[in-house]
Structure 1
Amino acid sequence: MVLRRARLSACLALLATTATAVAACGNSSSPTSQAGASLTFTRLGINTAGFGPSNQSTGNDAVVNSLLFSNLVKVAPDEKSIIPDLAQTWEQSPDAKEFTFHLRQGVTWSDGQPFTADDVVFTVTQAAQLGSTAYVGYQPTQWRQAVGATEAKGTKNPVSGVTALDDHTVKMTLAAPNAEFIRNLTDAVYSIVPKHLLQDATAENVRTVEFSKSKPVGTGPYVLEKAVPDQYLQFKANPKYFGGAPKIATLFFKLNVKPESVAAQLQSGELGMVLNAAANDAPALSAVKGLTTKFVVSPAAQFLQFRTDHPQAKDVRLRQGIYYAIDRRAMLKNLFGGNGEVRWVLPGFDQDDAALDRYDYNPDKAKQLLAASGVDLGQPFKISYAQGVDPAWDQMMPAIQKYLKDVGLNAVLEPLDSAAWSAANASKDAKYPMTVNAGGSMGLSPDRSSGYFNCKAPLSSFYANCQMDDLYAQARGTTDASTRADRYKQVAQILNRDVPMVALWQTTTYNAWTGKLGGSFQVFANDRDSAFNVNGWTLAG
């Protein structure tokens, strides 16, 4: 086993930034090269064991799925400009209820079958029919806003609001206006999937059919060539990609890379690029010859998430007290070199509203609120977090624990593996009163945080506030900018007051790559979108 790991490491090092074929790497447990350049890269975090929208749960999944699949639209590096993908052009009605997409012609799936409007209609319809249990993480909520989507759940019935006008035109009619609809369709959970391979899938098996586990078929720039569980995914360029064949012939996406090993792997050349690396590696990596490093302001946030249905976290005064107990500015400075922006409501909202409490560090006020909550502060207050999901969490959690102990709360850390942590967050049985979490794109728009809340079927924090849900809906349901701003302002004030989540800070990602990587390569603010222009990446010899 030691020899196999060493051999794999050596092979990946050779293949990180070169096209050289290495005969010694030709066995089944090691990556194989092909003619043309190859790049080995990773993004820190975890991957779901599967492919496609049903297996879209993390930022890493988004990167992988964007290599394999295409959406109707995608976003430019500025994270604002919507650009064509499978849809070359589109129109939106003035009331933001009707959307017509004009699709590219001549596009084929990677198995050679033609792509048509029927595949788009099928993708939307299946998302409505299968329901939430078919998806491991992110939900395709935009698709389910189509007229008839609710009635189609659990059936084989069509969704009346989605129709193919011809082989290359799709019209979608929503049950309610949604001014955010087009922008939200850039997320990986809205990848278009092939009808001819998934039409017989059910809610029970869609995540585990051959397509989703080992043989994904897409219209994206790359095709999966090999998957070695827990080690790497190997992709080869799709020569028939409608955007033009990628210039880098082979990509190796390394899995389960430990944060503490990143610097050494970049220095040795075993990795040619890392997204979302630990900020603490900056001093060492910035001095490495031939390596480019960059901090990028991210739309992501680090936040504490309460289970408001747990007896220890039910009282708002305890939640507010915890906010005051943590010196977020000191943590950000001491642990992450000040790379980030302290927040007092989730990113995306106007932080300058004078009505918002900034929850500046105040241990005395924290003690008063904790005492007033009536919670037995001597009982263990268990804080769950997942190891290996976010490189910051192992550093953050001991500091947070100390702050809480200093104000009299018996904080106990409960590190879990990623599967157990995800299950605990989704479980209706609130085992832990608080966890740490991170939002990958909330800073892009106030509406992005709406996915964490549902008053009729509470999830995540299990905070239920129908007034707030209605305000989110009113905001996305109007194209009037001033009305939208007012509704989002009201949402922000509710979140700031009720504290279902403690917004710690908006993050700055640290990224590093070989100086040989160029062309269209660019780290997006939402770093999981960085592969949107992968077909234009180049790698100098």
Structure 2
Amino acid sequence: MFKRFNVKLAFLIFILLLGITLAACNSDTTSDDPSNDPEESTENNETENNETEEEEEPANDEPQMGGDLVGAMDTAPAGVFNPIFYEEAYEANILDFTHEGLLSQNENLEFEPNLAHDWEINDDNTEITLFLEEGVTWHDGEEFTADDVVFTYKSIASPGYIEAGGVRTEYVDKLVGYEEFVNGETDEFEGVVAEDDYTVTFKFAQPNVTILKDVAFSIIPEHVFADVPVAEMPEHPATLNAGEVIGTGPFAFTEMLEREQYVLEKHADYWKGEPYLDSVTWRIVDQSVILGLLESGEIDFIADPNGVPAADYETVAAQDHIEIIEQPDFGYQLMGFIHNHRTTEDAESGEINPDNWVANEDMSDQLVRQAIAYTIDRQAIVDELLLGHGSVINAPIAQQFWAYDDSAATDYSADLDKANELLDEAGYVDADGDGFRDTPDGEEWIVNLNYPTGNQLRERSAPILQQMIEQADIQVDLRQPKEMTAYVEDLTNNTEDWDLYLIGWSLGSGDPDPSGLWRTQDAYNFGRWKNEESDQLIADALTPPDAFDQSYREEVYSEWQGVFSEDLPALLLYAQNKIYGINERLNGVAPMPYGFNNDPHLWWVSE
């Protein structure tokens, strides 16, 4: 069965989201760690008569009810506010506040209770039964039940989901009866069953190594979407419109002035307790003025996806009323190589059929890809553009995971002699004496480099990459950058003459499995990389019984990282540190390794 993928335009680049649920689905997770609670004060406020008024006027370091918060993003969300269809980290900044999954993760990436307070897994890891919190209400007052869980997963498994732009089938494709259901052979989906209102069982066809990750996806309300065909969900008002998007989270999405601001108001009946804040407003602000607004107090925080630019770190740190939190990004930036192009017919139909792909002759030689990699001085980019607030990485797995193995991958440190040697070996020499290398057939060879607008660091790095590559006498056409929507559409269709592209991924925190990005038929495999050994290793790392042994998985992923770096679907450039800027009046913030928006019901402001 071939996949069909009709992209919903404009999902994140710099931190595109896993959605795949590489980022996206796991950025929903929050922690219930009590250490996040603000400390209680031991000081009292004095009146003019030296009498305490603790009840009327709480001490400044105790949580206070009320107050409004303003955060800033440099790019507007594309506008799909539905967990099973959204694709951007900008949209995740809304959904992190409005929707929740059955499980969450803590700072050690361990799974913890969330909408489900407990669970039981059978002996062979083919079934998990979760026991749901009672008394949880959706923003419209309806009760949350096991039927909502069944409906969410059934929607993702439904015929038409992929064609409508859905990319999160990794959460359902291991469930019992998925193939029969998605192919329309049956109307019953056996994989998820509501035992009663507060008990739900997931049944997997084979022992499942990632069983907890697979049941942690954000839940959507059945009573809102029950009569909506899956194909129509992306365009439904409850997906698009403020005031109609319904979740169980601590805040409801109530107002928006599209591409300008997005307002979230507290869900007073939130099941974990009434949020302290009255509202959180996201303002869309150009990067050129965003720091000035933080310094003036017009906005309260700059966080995901882009945070404070490294070049402005010292300026922001010097502000007495601003706190900085810095941590490694849960993802990476890359320069991708287009291995193959899709046909126009496949792009128009949304079909991903590797048998129809057309090789990109400019990038099809592995030696050429390796040579280009050796032209790039990645450490210089980290030092000069990131000012040291980041690191060079060689493996496409988040550094925070146990599976990351930098030593298993080829280290493409800048080596111009090596680059020239490989190009000569591949037959790319200057045949006509114009100073640039030609193809082995003696034809003019021009490599194009493509990138989107919206992120200043990436926009600054593009011409630097061009200059570095041209040091090996490779003629580079630095294309005019495109606005994100158009860029992603072209990259997804991939029917033109693209060679190199810049992109970034924010990875899901649930498991290091790279499925969704780097398998041949993955929708986000934009370079259309085909490598059977890679596909097999990714499968092996999830195949029981061996895969229940983490040391086995480490070995497999180490081997896979070696295959990846040798064949080079992409050159990993760097992992930029996340730099969050927070006004001192904002309290209770405790970011997780995978994101800033953790437990916002515990955030509070001191005026």
With normalisation by structure 1, the TM-score equals 0.87
Following superposition, the deviation at residue 110 of structure 1 comes to 1.1
| Structure 1 residue 356 corresponds to structure 2 residue 409 | yes
- SS of equivalent residue, structure 2 residue 397: coil
Following superposition, the deviation at residue 79 of structure 1 comes to 4.8
> In 1, Cα distance between the equivalents of 2:496 and 2:120?
45
Q: Do 2:122 and 2:128's aligned partners in 1 also have CA atoms closer than 8 Å?
A: yes
| Structure 1 residue 408 corresponds to structure 2 residue 473 | yes
Following superposition, the deviation at residue 139 of structure 1 comes to 2.2
> In 1, Cα distance between the equivalents of 2:308 and 2:453?
15
The residue that corresponds to 1:489 in the other structure is 558
- SS of equivalent residue, structure 2 residue 254: strand
Following superposition, the deviation at residue 279 of structure 1 comes to 1.1
Deviations 1:324-356 (A, max 9, x none): 100001111011111112112213444343x53
The residue that corresponds to 1:61 in the other structure is 91
Number of paired residues? 495
| Structure 1 residue 260 corresponds to structure 2 residue 285 | no
Higher relative contact order (CA 8 A, sep 6+): 2
In structure 2, runs of 5+ residues without a counterpart are 1-64, 341-359, 429-437
The residue that corresponds to 2:331 in the other structure is 300
The residue that corresponds to 2:299 in the other structure is 271
Q: Do 2:330 and 2:507's aligned partners in 1 also have CA atoms closer than 8 Å?
A: yes
Q: Do 1:277 and 1:391's aligned partners in 2 also have CA atoms closer than 8 Å?
A: no
Following superposition, the deviation at residue 496 of structure 1 comes to 1.2
The residue that corresponds to 1:72 in the other structure is 102
Higher helix share: 1
Q: Report the structure number with the largest CA radius of gyration.
A: 2
The residue that corresponds to 1:367 in the other structure is 420
| Structure 1 residue 508 corresponds to structure 2 residue 577 | yes
> In 1, Cα distance between the equivalents of 2:535 and 2:249?
35
Which of 196, 201, 208 is the equivalent residue of 1:178?
A: 208
Root-mean-square deviation (CA, aligned residues, Å) is 2.1
Percent identity for Structure 1 against Structure 2: 23
The residue that corresponds to 2:435 in the other structure is none
Q: Do 1:53 and 1:135's aligned partners in 2 also have CA atoms closer than 8 Å?
A: no
| Moved >6 Å (runs of 4+) | none
Report 1:79-158 matches (<5 A): 79-129=108-158, 130-135=160-165, 138-153=167-182, 155=184, 157-158=187-188
Deviations 1:258-293 (A, max 9, x none): 222221110111210001221111121111121111
- SS of equivalent residue, structure 1 residue 416: coil
The residue that corresponds to 2:484 in the other structure is 418
The residue that corresponds to 1:205 in the other structure is 232
| Structure 1 residue 453 corresponds to structure 2 residue 481 | no
Following superposition, the deviation at residue 176 of structure 1 comes to 3.2
Report 1:165-244 matches (<5 A): 165-183=195-213, 186=216, 190-214=217-241, 215-244=244-273
Q: Do 1:299 and 1:507's aligned partners in 2 also have CA atoms closer than 8 Å?
A: no
Deviations 1:215-253 (A, max 9, x none): 101111111110110001111100111111111111101
Which of 591, 594, 597 is the equivalent residue of 1:523?
A: 591
Q: Do 1:146 and 1:159's aligned partners in 2 also have CA atoms closer than 8 Å?
A: no
- SS of equivalent residue, structure 1 residue 145: coil
Which of 502, 523, 538 is the equivalent residue of 1:472?
A: 538
The residue that corresponds to 1:395 in the other structure is 460
In structure 1, runs of 5+ residues without a counterpart are 1-34
Q: Do 2:519 and 2:534's aligned partners in 1 also have CA atoms closer than 8 Å?
A: no
CA 1:338–1:457 in structure 2 vs 1: closer, same or farther (change >3 Å)? Answer: closer
Task: State the one-letter code of the partner of 2:173.
Answer: R
- SS of equivalent residue, structure 2 residue 269: coil
Which of 487, 492, 503 is the equivalent residue of 1:437?
A: 503
Question: Structure 1 residues 324-333 or 499-508, which shifts more?
Answer: 499-508
> In 1, Cα distance between the equivalents of 2:75 and 2:369?
28
- SS of equivalent residue, structure 2 residue 152: helix
Q: Do 2:541 and 2:556's aligned partners in 1 also have CA atoms closer than 8 Å?
A: yes
The residue that corresponds to 2:41 in the other structure is none
Deviations 1:445-503 (A, max 9, x none): 531x3211233466322112233223222213321112111211121111011010111
CA 1:386–1:424 in structure 2 vs 1: closer, same or farther (change >3 Å)? Answer: same
Following superposition, the deviation at residue 178 of structure 1 comes to 3.1
Q: Do 1:70 and 1:191's aligned partners in 2 also have CA atoms closer than 8 Å?
A: yes
Following superposition, the deviation at residue 374 of structure 1 comes to 4.5
> In 2, Cα distance between the equivalents of 1:284 and 1:86?
41
The residue that corresponds to 2:396 in the other structure is 346
Following superposition, the deviation at residue 168 of structure 1 comes to 0.7
Task: State the one-letter code of the partner of 1:361.
Answer: A
Task: State the one-letter code of the partner of 2:147.
Answer: D
- SS of equivalent residue, structure 2 residue 206: coil
Report 1:287-326 matches (<5 A): 287-309=318-340, 310-326=360-376
- SS of equivalent residue, structure 1 residue 503: strand
Which of 39, 49, 62 is the equivalent residue of 2:79?
A: 49
CA 1:444–1:114 in structure 2 vs 1: closer, same or farther (change >3 Å)? Answer: closer
The residue that corresponds to 2:194 in the other structure is 164
Task: State the one-letter code of the partner of 2:516.
Answer: G
With normalisation by structure 2, the TM-score equals 0.78
| Structure 1 residue 40 corresponds to structure 2 residue 70 | yes
Deviations 1:66-104 (A, max 9, x none): 21111111122x151222221111223344332211111
| Structure 1 residue 383 corresponds to structure 2 residue 449 | yes
- SS of equivalent residue, structure 1 residue 120: helix
CA 1:163–1:48 in structure 2 vs 1: closer, same or farther (change >3 Å)? Answer: same
Following superposition, the deviation at residue 403 of structure 1 comes to 0.2
Deviations 1:368-423 (A, max 9, x none): 223434564653311111111x3421121111111011111222222111011111
- SS of equivalent residue, structure 1 residue 446: coil
Question: Structure 1 residues 466-475 or 260-269, which shifts more?
Answer: 466-475
Following superposition, the deviation at residue 114 of structure 1 comes to 1.4
CA 1:303–1:178 in structure 2 vs 1: closer, same or farther (change >3 Å)? Answer: farther
Following superposition, the deviation at residue 367 of structure 1 comes to 1.9
Following superposition, the deviation at residue 158 of structure 1 comes to 2.6
> In 2, Cα distance between the equivalents of 1:466 and 1:97?
27
CA 1:243–1:346 in structure 2 vs 1: closer, same or farther (change >3 Å)? Answer: same
- SS of equivalent residue, structure 2 residue 541: helix
Task: State the one-letter code of the partner of 1:474.
Answer: D
CA 1:298–1:147 in structure 2 vs 1: closer, same or farther (change >3 Å)? Answer: same
